[in-house]
Amino acid sequence: MSITLDASYYKNAPSKMYVEQKIQNNFSSAFNIADIQQSDKTSTIVNNNKTPYTTEEDLNCSMCGEINNPQNLPCKFYKPSNYSEEDPVYIAKLYPWDGSDPIIREIHLNNISFSNIDEYETFAYGIYLKKQGKIPWLNDILTAYDQANYQLSDDSSSFNKVNIIQSIKEDMNEGLKNRYYEQYLRYKSLFNLLTKQTKSK
């Protein structure tokens, strides 16, 4: 699951942790997973049309967030019971660090703009591609977000909107330039997937 990037990225990139729960030991050293599980007992949520439904499937993927940063909250992802491939929607449940009720966010996957995308949307779309068997893991698309976000004057918010298409293209070119052919082919495949989705909208 490793990726190859130039040394300057490893030196300068912010440290964030992304977790697939099936292999995680804990959600965060400062965030109690039991509290999250207790909150999830109340699973009825309301979409933008005020139509209630219940979460049906835990997608087994989480973001740990950055401790005490209200712009970078822990998050778990779900597929709602009225999910359809025609209009795929994932539910992101964001957990404030003060222990207050989760923030419920619908992410309409077909409406995502890859040139103007935040971290929660990036993660959700990565899960979607992985569930369809189109990518082997989430690392590449999440790294593309991190790299683009790192270029901003304030990279501390997971709500920052960035252009991951440009970031992926840069990783492709970097891989080819340095003869990291495995990296080049992975990012080329991801680039083709996202640009194809963009053209089909």
pLDDT for position 104: 94
pLDDT for position 199: 72
User: Going by C-beta distance under 8 Å and a sequence separation of 6 or more, which residues neighbour residue 101?
Assistant: 39
Which letter does DSSP use for residue 200 in this model?
A: H
Q: Which helix (H) or strand (E) holds 85?
A: none
Query: What is the pTM assigned to this prediction?
Result: 0.75
Range of the domain at 72: 7-200
Structure tokens at 53: 């439904």
pLDDT band at 141 (very low <50, low <70, confident <90, very high): very high
pLDDT for position 55: 54
pLDDT for position 75: 97
Distances (CA, A) of 192 to 42, 79, 106, 197: 39, 25, 26, 9
Is residue 155, in this structure, part of any structural domain at all?
A: yes
**How many distinct structural domains can be found in the chain?**
1
Whether residue 90 is predicted with pLDDT greater than 60 in this model: the reply is yes
Is residue 1, in this structure, part of any structural domain at all?
A: no
Mean pLDDT score of the chain, rounded to an integer? Answer: 79
Is residue 116, in this structure, part of any structural domain at all?
A: yes
Is residue 94, in this structure, part of any structural domain at all?
A: yes
Tell me how far apart the alpha carbons of residues 22 and 7 are, in angstroms, rounded to a whole number.
30
Structure tokens at 103: 């923030």
Whether residue 166 is predicted with pLDDT greater than 80 in this model: the reply is yes
Is residue 76, in this structure, part of any structural domain at all?
A: yes
Is residue 21, in this structure, part of any structural domain at all?
A: yes
pLDDT for position 198: 79
Whether residue 18 is predicted with pLDDT greater than 80 in this model: the reply is no
**138-141: which pairs have CB atoms within 8 A and are 24 or more residues apart?**
138/18, 138/20, 138/61, 139/1, 139/3, 139/18, 140/3, 140/168, 140/171, 140/186, 140/187, 140/190, 141/168, 141/190
Is residue 89, in this structure, part of any structural domain at all?
A: yes
CB 128 within 8 A of CB 110: no
pLDDT for position 197: 84
Is residue 149, in this structure, part of any structural domain at all?
A: yes
Characterize 85-98 residue by residue with b for buried, 16 or more Cβ atoms within 10 angstroms of its Cβ, and e for exposed.
eeebbbbbbbbebe
The closest of 104, 100, 101 to 76, measured between CA atoms, is 104
Q: What percent of the chain is predicted at pLDDT more than 70?
A: 72
Mean pLDDT of the region 43-64: 64
Residue 6 amino acid letter:
D
Mean pLDDT of the region 102-126: 96
Other C-beta atoms closer than 10 Å to the C-beta of 4 total 14
pLDDT for position 46: 40
Of the segments 2-11, 29-38, 80-89, which one has the largest average pLDDT value? Answer: 80-89
pLDDT for position 31: 39
pLDDT for position 56: 75
Whether residue 39 is predicted with pLDDT greater than 70 in this model: the reply is no
Whether residue 159 is predicted with pLDDT greater than 60 in this model: the reply is yes
